[in-house]
Amino acid sequence: MVDSSVVVKWLFDEPRSDIALGLLNGRQHEFHAPDLFLLEVINVVNKRVRRNLLPLADAIPVCESIPMLPIRRHPFHQELKAAFEVATRTGMSVYDAVFLALAVRLDVRFVTDDERALQSMMSSEYGRYPKRLRDFQP
- Which domains does the chain show, CATH number per domain? 4-135 (3.40.50.1010)
Give the per-residue pLDDT at 66: 97
Sequence-distant (≥ 6) Cβ neighbours of residue 22 within 8 angstroms: 136, 137, 138
More confident site: 138 or 5: 5
Q: Is the pLDDT of residue 116 over 60?
A: yes
Give the per-residue pLDDT at 136: 83
Give the per-residue pLDDT at 25: 92
State how far the Cα of 85 lies from the Cα of 88, in Å rounded to an integer. Answer: 5
Which residues sit opposite 83 in a β-bridge?
none
**Residue 137's closest CA among 22, 3, 9?**
22
Q: Render pLDDT for 32-78 as a digit per residue (tens, 0 to 9).
A: 999 999 999 999 999 999 999 999 999 999 999 999 999 999 999 99
State how far the Cα of 10 lies from the Cα of 20, in Å rounded to an integer. Answer: 6
Q: Is the pLDDT of residue 138 over 70?
A: no
More confident site: 29 or 124: 124
Q: Render pLDDT for 79-110 as a digit per residue (tens, 0 to 9).
A: 999 999 999 999 999 999 999 999 999 999 98
Confidence of residue 26 (pLDDT cuts 50, 70, 90): confident
| Radius of gyration over every alpha carbon of the chain, rounded to an integer in angstroms | 15
